[in-house]
A and B are shown apart, each in its own frame.
Chain A
């Protein structure tokens, strides 16, 4: 089982809204990631959690707030987003760092209006 599950699949939110993206994996992976992908661009790393602790923050604006409640779950809390934040948000997980694969979820298509 190499499944990473993301909910919701689609989300439309206003600039004053607060919403959350959710991600779940049951592969026993200890690293979980949030990536952002704009059209015709490669995925860009936002955050990495390792053993439930924030390991990497790629200078992401504070309107994006990650949370790792346990080793299987990863959330991304959204508040006061801008239309340019509209993108495909991808969650991924891996066994660790180094020579290992990351497995991605199906993504959440976010539209900020």
Chain B
């Protein structure tokens, strides 16, 4: 049972444009959501998070939006840069030590 899903395995975007990565979840108990960036053979790097009491959180070029009624969150990267090319994982937590990860979206930013 995949509680956190990223339905787009890959995404290509032109440099300077907006990248939008999507994530859906099924467990209504999740109250904290995170986005991680991962390069091959490296550990995930934390990017940004959002609590379920908010609907938006912004940090520089990265903005995360949360729509609780739709059980959907998205990560916006503006402007996209070639160095952003990586696999992006969303993750969710329900107040426990368990972080449940989505299947990942490979972002390629074209120069």
**Which residues of chain A have a CB within 8 Å of any CB of chain B?**
2, 4, 6, 31, 33, 40-45, 48, 50, 55-56, 88, 90, 92, 94, 97-107, 109
Nearest 3 Cβ contacts at the A-B interface: A42-B101, A104-B43, A48-B97
- What residue of chain A has the Cβ atom nearest to residue B89's Cβ? A42
Say yes or no: A107 contacts B102, CB within 8 Å. Answer: no
Question: Given A43-B44, A90-B43, A98-B93, list of 16 further CB < 8 A pairs?
Answer: A6-B43, A31-B97, A45-B99, A48-B97, A56-B97, A90-B44, A92-B43, A97-B93, A97-B96, A98-B32, A98-B96, A102-B34, A102-B99, A104-B44, A107-B41, A109-B41
* Secondary structure type dominating chain A contacts: strand
Q: How far is the CA of A92 from the CA of B44 in the complex (A)?
A: 9
CB distance B43 to A97 under 8 Å? no
CA A41 – CA B95 in complex, angstroms?
24
Q: How far is the CA of A109 from the CA of B44 in the complex (A)?
A: 14
A97: which B residues are within 8 A, CB to CB?
A: 93, 95-97
Collect the chain A residues with CB atoms within 8 Å of residue B102's CB: 42
A residues less than 8 Å from B46 (CB atoms): 2, 101-104
Which of A48, A99, A103 contacts B31, CB < 8 Å?
Answer: A99
A106 and B43 contacting across the interface, CB-CB below 8 Å: yes
Look across to chain A and name the residue whose beta carbon is closest to the beta carbon of B95.
Answer: A98
Within 8 A of A (CB), among B24-70: 31-32, 34, 36, 41-46, 49, 51
